[in-house]
Structure 1
Amino acid sequence: MNYGSLAAFLEQGKAALAKGPVALILIEDLVEVESTLRHHLKAGFRTVVAFAPATLELPTDLAGKVYRVPYDMRAPDALINAINPVIAACPKTTWLYYCYNAEYLFYPFCETRSVGELLAFHTEERRDAMLTYAIDLYAPDLGRTPNAVNLSEAMLDRSGYYALARTDPANSNTPRERQLDFYGGLRWRFEEHVPWTRRKIDRVALFRAEKGLQLRADHTFNIEEYNTYACPWHHNLTAVIASFRVAKALKFNPGSTFSIDSFKWHNSVPFAWQSQQLMDLGLMEPGQWF
């Protein structure tokens, strides 16, 4: 299912956006594109849209399940120029999700429950967005895996994560209610190679379309309630995006690749590709969902 442009998809593919959940996969390069698409199809997304370069080739079985939109992720403001038109084209309350290639959504009990079940419960809790954390994955041996992407031997940091109060830009002494800035992983350990505006690991990657809603370049929304980690009454579900994106970028970037011989440190542990490990490490919250 190929479209000539984003505008053509929004005009001709309205049925694909009529009912979610819809996964929007932003493809920056050709690394692990197929595994990313298959992971999210298996999670139960009704529609998977690939914003893909023209050079991408997909197996026939996968190409028939994915809506493909030609898109250049290297263009200025590529993220918001892809996501915001889709939000505007969706019926109100359609659940949307976005991630990049070589990123994989995990949520509590995802091995036995679909993303549709997850979002149905979250909707019943009167929540229109879910906080996710981009948790860095990386290969243990950069000599054998120069691009830092190795699914079979992936590692992650078991500690080193922290949060700071998010203040109102108009008043730095006033913290925003139920909002925090989260840090950790490779962005924290190799912060000298990461611009300060890109060091946060929080991302509101699951959300419902709403009239006037817009994603901002820092992965927050213009409706502040969407940026909260929980409702006022109790803890809510959170999720993880297990991501090779930062490791890949640090090894692709000429300014950092020669400074990094290994991403491993004393707090590195193998990634089990299971939601229980992420909950045990305190990296996501099951809330009231048992």
Structure 2
Amino acid sequence: MTDLLLALWPLFAMIVAGYWLRLREFPSEAFWPGAERLNYFILFPALLFSSLAQAPLSNPALPRLGLAVLLGLGIVWLALLVLRRLRGWPAGRFGAFTQGILRFNTYLGLAAVGSLFGQEGLTLAAIMLALMVPTVNVLSVWSLTAERGVSARSLLLPIIKNPLILACLGGALFNLTGIGLPGGTDRLLSLLAAASLPLGLLCVGAALKPEQLGGEIPALGWNTALRLLAMPLLAWSVAWALALPAMESAVLVLFFALPTAPTAYVLTRQLGGDSQLMAGIITLQTLLAAGSLVAIMGLLA
């Protein structure tokens, strides 16, 4: 447990630092959107591309890991559809609840995997992201627009243009060529990747909105409990049923135990969802994940 705390507490310290810096308006309020874009379009894709370009893709457990990811997401999606029918949620509210349960904080996830499992864990996480990011994005957009309908183009175009998905596909294809990363490109990508996770964690902290925690306490509570407690339990059950090896099981559980993504707030606002509820869900889950992640990974160990 001590090793787990030593691996995880610096990640949450970076998140707190990002929140503190934004409160102090340092470097400036305009810095954070630009930093987020730099990370999303350049630094983070460099990390994913380099991880997959050099990954040993012959691991016989990878197909089962992919099946576990899709099976877990599918079970939760069906449960959410049943809940929506029973409770009669409008699309704006249903979309916020869906993202609170299905989406995950990629920056925190990769930083935690890297701290706990090293390069081998990052490779598995990159493979999972290649499946989870498009699936979760499609379900999130659909849930926010279910009442007014959505075309296949509006669902698929953001997926095709997503830099994280393109980086995963590019890295995998490059891996299959067998030429490696020649001429110092591996060093260039590693330098870009090294900047990604610290900057990402600072941006996560800067996006927190504690003022949005009031007024929706029951909704925030059950959504957070499902995301931080029920989701990792489901992931463990699926991993056990598919007889995944220990490393693959641990990475799967960790990603299902992450708080939701701060970018869910932006998508909710763009598509006319309940952005105030979404901001509260993001903030509460991120704050409580500091304890829940340590507890869940400790029990898993």
Alignment TM-score, normalising by the size of structure 2: 0.29
Bigger share in helix: 2
Alignment TM-score, normalising by the size of structure 1: 0.30
Q: Which has the higher contact order (CA 8 A, sep 6+)?
A: 2
